[in-house]
Amino acid sequence: MKNLLITGGSQGIGKATALEAAKKGMFIGINYNSNDKAAEETLSEVKELDGEGVILKCDVSNHSAVKDMFENFVDTAGSLDGVFNNAGTTGPVSRIHELDPKDFKSLIDTNVIGAFNVAQESSKIMIKQKKGNIVNMTSIAADIGGAGELVHYAMSKGAVDSLTYGMAKELGVYGIRVNAVAPGLIATDIHAKAGDALRVERLMPSVPLGRVGLAREVADTVMWLLSEKSSYVCGTIVRISGGR
């Protein structure tokens, strides 16, 4: 794999994946939406590892911006070999009856419409190329439901599960593999952004392995799915949850 675009590649799991991809000599498109400093820092860390890349500022919920981003990436890199469709948010921690509808809409815009926009534009390019590899980002929340805190988020990731199963069947016939990763509790800033900085500590007792996961542990699985080591894996959602 030569050219990989990572949405939400500037922080957390996306950043850890960019750093692993840099070690493998890939050219990396680092997409983000708002935090310019984090994106610049990630690109400079990629370069310190002798990697190459470009930062791509674009809100994944904006379809025409996503289309332009993919076209620009292919113009620069020459091809689109892999996509990690990772950008996402939890929205605020809230019970269903207390959630502000504006927060719900914003969450669906990013996690569902954004994931679909990225899936659609990368599919167009990969179908023409007759090759490619897509890894979607879901969550074990889609299975366990997120009751009491993040049902809205769990629901949005349920849509990504369906997207993954459908895409794998539609694109497999062109030689394009589509899979997803479903992490559990991973140490990134996403929990603080949800307004619950102690979320990891609070939920730790529910993890059979007894610890929080690292972004790098998710990145390792993504790199495996993007590699030929997983050449017959297609339409699979890999749980990375410490048994939770």
Summarize as ranges the residues that interact with ligand NAP (CB under 6 A). Answer: 7-8, 10-14, 31-35, 59-61, 86-89, 110, 114, 137, 139, 183, 185-186, 188-190, 193
Residue 13's nearest CA partner among 37, 30, 1, 26 is: 30
d(C-alpha 98, C-alpha 192), whole Å? 19
Length of the chain: 244
**Considering the complex, what minimum distance in angstroms separates the CB of residue 69 from ligand NAP?**
9
**Considering the complex, what minimum distance in angstroms separates the CB of residue 88 from ligand NAP?**
2
- Closest to ligand NAP by CB, 64 vs 231, is 64
Contact 7, 14 (CB under 8 A): yes
**Considering the complex, what minimum distance in angstroms separates the CB of residue 100 from ligand NAP?**
18
Q: What angle do CA 151, 201, 210 make, to 5 degrees?
A: 100
**Considering the complex, what minimum distance in angstroms separates the CB of residue 226 from ligand NAP?**
16
Catalytic-labelled residue, pool 32, 153, 165, 174: 153
- Closest to ligand NAP by CB, 154 vs 176, is 154
d(C-alpha 38, C-alpha 214), whole Å? 18
Told to judge if 232 belongs to the known catalytic residues of this protein, a careful annotator would answer no
- Closest to ligand NAP by CB, 128 vs 211, is 211
User: Considering just the CA atoms, what is the radius of gyration of the chain in Å?
Assistant: 17
Active-site residues, by number, are 153
